[in-house]
Structure 1
Amino acid sequence: MNKENQKVWLVTGTSKGLGLHLIKLLLSQGHKVIATSRNTDALEKEITSFKENLFPVKLDITSDTAVKKAIDESIEKLGRIDVVVNNAGYSLVGSMEEMTDAEFRATMDVNLFGTVNIIRNMMPHLRKQQSGHIINISSNAGYIGFEKAASYNAAKFALIGISEALAQEVINFGIKVTVVAPGQFRTEFMNSINYVKNRIEVYGVDEAEKMWTKFSGTQPGDPDKLSKILVQISEMEQPPLHLLLGPDTYELVTQKRAEEDAEFEKWKSLTLSTDFD
């Protein structure tokens, strides 16, 4: 790869799952990768080739101070960051009643506020460059509420709204924004699911845990194909703002939209009855 086409990527959550698949692809293509993880030792063991372009950063993205320091030091070392992929996250399974305040907030801290910390501290650099692409990894759970996944839904729904607002704020600075909603891809994600500790039998969390554990390793989506698509959109002059990935996600989201349209139409008379006469 010539230097003109080489980009500097910052990817969060890279020691396993989609993040690891993505950075392996980027390194093989000659890009420079700032790879953040809570466990950089595990990350470096996974990377056996093209290590000269890998810049691992041990980082807790829930710490705004730590994020700012990591980004500033990375810019100082490499000069710029062209593409940011907010990928770090995990799911908490359990009903609203079962979730403790600490469990709910921890999910939001990683899945939502960690991404916000990255965006907030990247913006001064991207605005100065007058270029860049921020890719936020949401989920089909960002469009559809699923039982026993309320905290994950809350974070992933929020990422879509944040991405829509951010895209409007940064368009005049030459910065692009894409929010990606993958379905079920064959990564380690299922094995990193957290389950509520205080369980109430009627909600069936024990059965859910058995089901998701059994499902792990059989997901239909190919994470290498997903990674290639992320690279593909990073090269577009006008990338999508919203990108659904996976036939399962497309079917679920389009069906949900049709059901919403029907519900809105059903209650239209009430909706339009609220203005002063």
Structure 2
Amino acid sequence: MKRNKQISTGKKFIHNASVFQTCIAGIFLIFIFGMNGFSQTSYKGISMNNNIQTKNISPGYLDKNNPVFISIKSRAAQDLKQASEEGDMESSENKLIKSKIRTWSEKKRKQFQALFEKSINDYTSQTNFDADTFMMIFSEFGKMDLKQIADEYDLRVQSLGDNKFAAEFWEDGLAVNSEANAIKNAHELAASDYAKKHPDSGIGDISKIKETYAATRKSINNGETQRFTKVIVLLYTKEKDSSIVFHNPFQAVFDFILK
């Protein structure tokens, strides 16, 4: 897949550096060696906690009739999905990249890891988002189809000044925790390798997962839990010719690998 520096049409700052460095190190190892993690939260069907923290700022959201909003809205889901897919470790291109990285010297690997960390910090700093959250969630969007993204996420565009814009994806708690999703999740978990290896774990218990999802919907409807949660933010700029440009958060990393 061709990496484009710009795709165009006509942080919260880290308080616990060690946490972020650990996250980056994990991603670095995954990228090189293809290691796979296991999420206990996901496999037990526990819905996402609605408490993601972002930098406290005064929002300046664009009206949905604003031309910049319309332009970003028309492409943001596709930009997010494509950028996420480019990080798929099982793609033929990335398998070749992993092989290439394994041949690097220790010095070059450290340079790569430092660049990776700096790139994400710089990106999330500009969009006033949390770097840890960004890294944990970003890859999930590559697994979704565009309809799912449209149905389960509300897009809001915030002006950052200097012709920069943050495209925010807000998860709709009611849509994500629907009964249909509970059933789908239960079937997927029951068929997972983890469930097969641990038949007594209760993983994929449809009744428990439906109860969990229903409890979340009830909490939202009762006003105890916020319905919408900001889960990922992308950076766009408006150029002199009025075109809107998407900035891939990993472009500097791709450039380093492919040079």
- TM-score normalized with structure 1 length: 0.25
Identify the structure with bigger relative contact order (alpha carbons < 8 Å, sequence gap 6+): 2
- TM-score normalized with structure 2 length: 0.26
